[in-house]
Chain A
């Protein structure tokens, strides 16, 4: 009973995280659904007394990564990824910045997956660097460097637009 209740309490935040990862409301709920199903199935793996939220975020994020990889193998190509490299270039960046002024969604879409997930965890969900590193299963230095690059790109696109 507790377990389900805690999951329900967590759901709004989990949906927000999933929305940021997938950038699409119904994809995000599909992801949440898969994550809940996975969590219910493997609930013995969650240790009482440890944080349920970190565990759920990790499940959600891993399912999403699996899905992205599978899509990549199927040859589906995310057109957004092409744009990432452009933003780094000077001239293109200016054009992009103008066109995208004020649009957080488009700006987030410009980030590579591994930067976007860190941005969501730290800047939006409010996790400490160490907690984000645990959720993502990467060293803390990886979190800080990805976060720095993600921030830079976002500030470039959004920051100067106003």
Chain B
């Protein structure tokens, strides 16, 4: 075994560049000591994760949620706030807000899913379905190689489509799909009902993977490629 523990740890943590990671993978196939060390490190990680995982499922204590609900309550006393806004902005703001709410509701009905409220993951722009809010955020920044196990949106594959755009498959409570980078945003190419209900998960993953495979040019991005693409703002590469 020729690698120091820090390198093996970095390998297990997904921190190595792709070339080095592949080399270690290959070596581990023929080096029992290296393979054992990798296993040992993985087991530690798994063990720590599963030890702390139950905290995520605990009901949130009231004293914490109330701090945030009390703040939110200010926003829901609409009449008061509208009156205040009308005094300041001559009523325009209030009308705009109602307009936005109505639009969100219509979108919810049109797309055949629930209206999501203010942090909707989907919006309509120039007649196309685009990602917004938390979904857009996740597509912009989240790496499949390095996302929290409990992320609200899970990124599946990131890949280059045959037309040169970067595309990413994702799953979330409200909607699953494939989004492709257009300018500064993400156009939704495929959408499916959200996969949070566990029965759907596999079927949904499989059909998304198939759809992605059909769009893809070459191989999906590896961890390094994904990170590089994100850092470059998901811009189409040269020569495309």
Give A contacts to B, CB under 8 Å: 1-2, 4-9, 11-13, 15-16, 19-20, 29, 32-33, 36-37, 40, 51, 104-105, 108, 119, 122-129, 144, 147-148, 151-152, 154-155, 158-159
Q: How far is the CB of A102 from chain B (nearest CB, A)?
A: 9
Q: How far is the CB of B77 from chain A (nearest CB, A)?
A: 12
A12 pairs with B45, CB closer than 8 A: no
A123-B6 contact in complex given A13-B150, A33-B63, A36-B67, C-beta closer than 8 Å: no
A126 pairs with B148, CB closer than 8 A: yes
Known: A1-B72, A6-B134, A36-B67. 11 other contacts (CB 8 A): A4-B69, A5-B119, A6-B119, A9-B152, A11-B65, A16-B56, A105-B51, A124-B49, A126-B147, A144-B9, A148-B6
A158-B52 contact in complex given A11-B65, A29-B64, A144-B6, C-beta closer than 8 Å: no
A36 — which chain B residues lie within 8 A by C-beta? 64, 67-68
Q: How far is the CB of A127 from chain B (nearest CB, A)?
A: 8
Q: How far is the CB of A105 from chain B (nearest CB, A)?
A: 8
Is residue B43 within 8 Å, beta carbon to beta carbon, of the partner chain? Answer: yes
| Chain A CB within 10 A, most for which of B49, B64, B69, B118 | B64
- A-contact 0/1 string along B6-30, CB 8 Å cutoff: 1001100111000000000000000
Q: How far is the CB of A112 from chain B (nearest CB, A)?
A: 17
| Chain B CB within 10 A, most for which of A16, A51, A148, A159 | A16
Give B contacts to A, CB under 8 Å: 5-6, 9-10, 13-15, 40-41, 43-45, 47-49, 51-53, 55-58, 60-61, 63-65, 67-69, 71-72, 75, 118-119, 133-134, 141, 143, 146-150, 152
A8-B75 contact in complex given A16-B52, A124-B48, C-beta closer than 8 Å: no
The complex places the Cα of A148 from the Cα of B41 at a distance, in Å, of: 11
Q: What is the number of contacts between chain A and chain B, taking CB atoms within 8 Å?
A: 110
What is the predominant secondary structure among interface residues of chain A facing chain B?
helix
B47 pairs with A104, CB closer than 8 A: yes
For residue A127, which residue of chain B has the nearest CB? B146
A124 — which chain B residues lie within 8 A by C-beta? 48-49, 52
The complex places the Cα of A159 from the Cα of B146 at a distance, in Å, of: 25
Q: How far is the CB of B142 from chain A (nearest CB, A)?
A: 10
A37 pairs with B67, CB closer than 8 A: yes
Which of A33, A119, A122, A123 has a CB less than 8 Å from the CB of B64?
A33
Q: How far is the CB of B148 from chain A (nearest CB, A)?
A: 5
B51 pairs with A104, CB closer than 8 A: yes
Can you give 5 contacting A-B residue pairs, CB < 8 Å? A5-B119, A15-B56, A37-B67, A124-B52, A159-B43
A8-B5 contact in complex given A124-B52, A151-B44, A154-B44, C-beta closer than 8 Å: no
B119 pairs with A13, CB closer than 8 A: no
Which of A20, A123, A127, A152 has a CB less than 8 Å from the CB of B45?
A123
A104 pairs with B48, CB closer than 8 A: yes
